[in-house]
Amino acid sequence: MAEEKEVIEPLPSLLADGIKREVLAVQDYARLSFEALSDAFTPPFYWNDTLEQMDIIGVGSLPIIVLTGFFIGGVLVLQTAAQFERFGETALTGDAVALALVRELGPAITALLVAGRNASGIASEIGSMVVTEQVDAMRALGTDPVRKLMTPRVLAMILMLPLLTVVSDFVGLVGGFLVAYFTLRLGAVQFWTRAVHALDFGDLVQGLAKPFVFAFIISTVACFMGLRVKGGTQGVGRATTSAVVVSSVILLVTDTFITRLLLWAFHK
Amino acid sequence: MTRAIPLDGREQFSALVPGEPVIIFKDVRIGFDDREVLQGISFETVYGETKVLLGEGGSGKTLIMKMAAGLLRPDSGTVTVMGHNIGEMGEKELLQFRRYIGFVFQEGALFDSMTVAENVAFRLGEEGVDETEAEKRVREALRFVEMESALERYPGELSGGMRRRVSIARALVDRPPILFYDSPTAGLDPVTCQTIMSLILRGRDLQGVTSLLATQRVQDAFGLANFHFDKNTGQILRDKPENNHAVQTPERANRALPERKTAPLKKPTGSTMESKGTSDATGFPSSDGGTSATNVLVLRDGKIYFEGAADALLNTSDEYLNEFLASAK
């Protein structure tokens, strides 16, 4: 019996195919994200689904945000206090904690935690619906799955992440104050006055603009990964992992550019 | 069919007349990963007809139905449903179009985060039907499939057969003029298969829908071709041979296998529709009625291997078809 020869494709052609696939994926992602956003402005609206997602994303994430926010604030004081003590400037602890939390750590860490908790949930839920033909069933019933599944999740995330970030910032400051009080013997008035005065309008804009962008990235990437699932339950697992990894990487990269842009905008 | 039925109200469908082609496939091809699964499929389904798509697993039955429902687009060829070229319609138009079809998926594809009642009411909710009216229609549809007691249960709590029944109720709740059944009896025990086929028969004969039914079971094809639901007695009755109005155009008769190389086969004895053993071993009393218009289309290697009435399939001497029929024994 003649053996069938395995055809090995040349490397350039394999590379070209790979690049083509990635470019097409980016194109699909952009189209889907645009569609999800534009669907938010035209009927029919799925307000109940949006409220349900706000509950899952917002209320559901609250405990981990509060817990981690508190300890991040605390650890920030522990790390900076040693440096400030060397120069006898422990009073500056409030400034350092406030600036670090509001400008950077609050938005970034909250977004990373929400990505870990919700991007995985969104991708696995939508992915499971795809492999069990529920998304096809939805289309067969005359309902647009992007409008019904993606738009409510994107809206809910955009509304909830900034609020969670504010909570995280506040709880972080409380945690920082408590650690400063017990380790540095820093008074409440001193800590809070310095913390509040250290922040200006630009810092608040920076701290509140980032969550909107991060929320859009997390929700759209998670929905996109879920909607393009192939290969049964294994595919759902892959999509879940990709949703968390890709959204986390993109949001950290984007963070650098937004920070640069906002620092330039507020002349810092 | 040249005229397109406007998709702006159900009353438009009363304009359809028996014998008028509703679903037309013309030289349709589709493939995945360098493999062409369907290689130039052409057929027509007329108003009121049930077309049973028979074929082995992977022969492209589901693809045909998904293309007819606009869930997939063909690589080439045209798919026309109610006068609309599905390949040329945008997704928004397709969503509107799909409100006039019902689709029963192989595993039911029920929304697992919703109760049975919410699943069945899904389309009504999308169409803004009043809640009281929707509840009435949901109960009616669930009563039809004998699942009214499962209103508040979740799909995960139901057996495979029960899920299919709910899926049929979901597809029928809005009384669509066209229905697609994707392997509705696959993986079910014989008794449940009989229940599902009885429901499909009832749906067909009470609502007069045009439908495509994909299956690997020859028994399903013969069940639909030889039985009907009698409105007067409320029973499923066996058709008399002269009352089987299967649509058999000259073109189809020519396409049916011309040569009979072996002796005609006996009817499949393992048919679930024939397993009850009353008069002529059918399990259902005979009647003078019978308005079924059922045709069979057998797919093989991406092409139509046979198209015609169930009787023609039964009497064939073709080796491959014989094998297929033998599998039902």
Task: Tell me the average pLDDT across B302-318.
Answer: 89
| Contact residues on chain A for B170, CB-CB shorter than 8 A | 141
Q: Domain total for chain A? A: 1
The C-alpha angle with vertex B309 and arms to B237 and B100, in degrees rounded to 5, equals 75
Classify residue A24: in a domain, yes or no: no
Q: Chain A to chain B, count of Cβ pairs less than 8 Å apart?
A: 53
* Band (B256; pLDDT cuts 50, 70, 90): very low
Classify residue B1: in a domain, yes or no: no
Residue B295 φ then ψ, to 5°: -125, 155
Task: Tell me the average pLDDT across A136-152.
Answer: 96
For residues A3 and A113, the answer to whether their CB atoms sit within 8 Å is no
pLDDT, residue B13, reads 61
Range of the structural domain that residue B181 is part of: 10-326
Using the predicted structure, report yes or no on whether residue B180 has a pLDDT greater than 90.
Answer: yes
pLDDT, residue A10, reads 84
pLDDT, residue B225, reads 86
Determine whether the interchain pair B109/A142 forms a contact, defined as Cβ–Cβ distance below 8 Å.
Answer: no
For residues B318 and B296, the answer to whether their CB atoms sit within 8 Å is no
Task: Tell me the average pLDDT across A183-196.
Answer: 91
Determine whether the interchain pair B69/A144 forms a contact, defined as Cβ–Cβ distance below 8 Å.
Answer: no
- Amino acid found at A117: R
Determine whether the interchain pair A137/B99 forms a contact, defined as Cβ–Cβ distance below 8 Å.
Answer: no
Determine whether the interchain pair B109/A136 forms a contact, defined as Cβ–Cβ distance below 8 Å.
Answer: yes
Tell me the pLDDT tens digit for each residue of A45-76.
999 999 999 999 999 999 999 999 999 999 99
pLDDT, residue B275, reads 31
Q: What is the ipTM for the molecules in this complex?
A: 0.83
Tell me the pLDDT tens digit for each residue of A85-133.
888 888 888 899 999 999 999 999 999 999 999 999 999 999 999 999 9
Residue from the list B91, B92, B98 with its beta carbon closest to the beta carbon of A141: B98
What is the CATH classification number for the domain harbouring B211? 3.40.50.300
| Alpha-carbon dihedral sign for residues B107, A226, A144, B62 | negative
CA distance A264 to A243: 31
| Contact residues on chain B for A137, CB-CB shorter than 8 A | 103, 105, 109-111
* Band (A152; pLDDT cuts 50, 70, 90): very high
Using the predicted structure, report yes or no on whether residue B106 has a pLDDT greater than 50.
Answer: yes
Range of the structural domain that residue A245 is part of: 47-265
Classify residue B5: in a domain, yes or no: no
Using the predicted structure, report yes or no on whether residue B3 has a pLDDT greater than 70.
Answer: no
Q: Is B323 on the interface with A (CB under 8 A)?
A: no
Classify residue B3: in a domain, yes or no: no
pLDDT, residue A6, reads 67
Using the predicted structure, report yes or no on whether residue B32 has a pLDDT greater than 70.
Answer: yes
Classify residue A181: in a domain, yes or no: yes
Classify residue A196: in a domain, yes or no: yes
CA distance A140 to A162: 36
pLDDT, residue A11, reads 84
Classify residue A104: in a domain, yes or no: yes
Q: What strands, in cross-sheet order, belong to the sheet with B76-81?
A: B35-46, B21-32, B76-81, B84-85
| Contact residues on chain A for B106, CB-CB shorter than 8 A | 133
Task: Tell me the average pLDDT across A14-36.
Answer: 94
Classify residue A27: in a domain, yes or no: no
SS3 annotation, A217-264: HHHHHHHHHHHCCCCHHHHHHHHHHHHHHHHHHHHHHHHHHHHHHHHH
Task: Tell me the average pLDDT across A182-201.
Answer: 92
For residues A127 and A150, the answer to whether their CB atoms sit within 8 Å is no
Determine whether the interchain pair B123/A133 forms a contact, defined as Cβ–Cβ distance below 8 Å.
Answer: no
Q: Domain total for chain B? A: 1
Determine whether the interchain pair A44/B126 forms a contact, defined as Cβ–Cβ distance below 8 Å.
Answer: yes
Classify residue A194: in a domain, yes or no: yes
E-strand ranges in chain B read 21-32, 35-46, 50-55, 76-81, 84-85, 101-104, 178-182, 210-215, 227-230, 235-238, 294-300, 303-309
Classify residue B4: in a domain, yes or no: no
Residue from the list A132, A142, A143 with its beta carbon closest to the beta carbon of B109: A132
Determine whether the interchain pair B111/A134 forms a contact, defined as Cβ–Cβ distance below 8 Å.
Answer: yes
Classify residue A103: in a domain, yes or no: yes
Classify residue A140: in a domain, yes or no: yes
